[in-house]
Amino acid sequence: MKYVLALDQGTTSSRAILFGHDGSIAGVAQHEFKQIYPDVGWVEHDPYDILTSQLTAAVEVLGKARVRPRDTVALGITNQRETTIVWERESGKPVYNAIVWQDRRGAPLCKELADDGAEDTIRKKTGLLIDPYFSATKIAWILDNVKGARAQAEQGKLAFGTVDSWLIWNLTSGKRHVTDRTNASRTMLYNIVEDGWDNELLKLLNIPESMMPEVHWSSEALGQVTTSLGLGEVEIAGIAGDQQSALFGQLCVSPGDAKNTYGTGCFLLQHIGDKFTLSNERLITTLACSVDKKLEYALEGSIFVGGAVVQWLRDNMHFFPSSSDVESVAASVDSAENVVFVPAFTGLGAPHWDPYASGLIIGLQRSTQMGHIARAALESIAFQVTDVLHAMNKETQQPFRELRVDGGAAANDMLMQFQSDLLQLPVRRPAVLETTAMGAAYLAGLAVNFWSSTEEIAKLRGQDTVFEPKADPKQMEARQSKWQDAVKRAGGWNKENA
**Over the stretch 217-261, which tens digit does the pLDDT of each residue have?**
999 999 898 876 778 789 999 999 999 999 999 888 888 888 999
| Binding-site residues from annotation for glycerol | 81-82, 133, 242-243
CA dihedral sign of residues 181, 182, 183, 189: positive
- Asked whether residue 498 carries a pLDDT value surpassing 70, the answer given is no
What are the tens digits of pLDDT across the range 122-180?
Answer: 999 999 999 898 999 999 999 999 999 999 999 999 999 999 999 999 999 999 999 99
Across the range 79-90, mean pLDDT stands at: 95
Annotated binding site: 11-13, 15, 81-82, 133, 242-243, 264, 307, 311, 408, 412
Q: Which residues contact 411 (CB under 8 A, 6 or more apart)?
A: 433
Give binding residues for ADP as ranges.
Answer: 11, 15, 264, 307, 408, 412
Taking a C-beta distance cutoff of 8 angstroms, is the pair 217, 290 a contact? yes
Q: Which residues are annotated as a binding site for ATP?
A: 11-13, 264, 307, 311, 408
Binding-site residues from annotation for sn-glycerol 3-phosphate: 11, 81-82, 133, 242
Maximum average pLDDT range among 222-236, 276-290, 391-405: 276-290
Residue closest to 97 by CA, chosen among 132, 169, 49: 49
**By percentage, how much of the chain surpasses pLDDT 90?**
73
Please state the length of the chain. Answer: 498
Give the mean pLDDT of the chain.
Answer: 92
**Residue 192 confidence (pLDDT) above 90:** yes
Q: What is the DSSP string of 158-174?
A: EEEE-HHHHHHHHHTTT
Banded model confidence at residue 317, pLDDT cuts 50, 70, 90 = very high
Q: What pLDDT is stored for residue 460 in this prediction? A: 84
- Three-state DSSP class for 198? coil
pLDDT value for 4: 95
End-to-end CA distance of the chain: 55
Strand partners, 7: 16, 77
CA 370 to chain CA mean position, Å: 29
372 phi and psi angles, rounded to 5 deg: -65, -40
Which of 45-59, 90-104, 161-175, 387-401 comes out lowest in average pLDDT?
387-401
- The residues facing 465 across adjacent strands are 429
**Phi, psi angles (nearest 5°) of residue 5:** -100, 125
Region(s) of the chain under CATH 3.30.420.40: 3-243, 251-429+468-498
Q: List, for residues 429-453, the tens digit of each pLDDT value.
A: 988 888 899 999 999 999 999 998 8
CATH of domain 3-243: 3.30.420.40
CATH of 251-429+468-498, one of 3.30.420.40, 3.40.50.620, 3.40.50.970, 3.40.50.2300: 3.30.420.40
The pLDDT assigned to 461 comes to 80
Virtual torsion, Cα 377, 379, 382, 388, nearest 10 deg = -70
Helix (H) or strand (E) holding 230: none
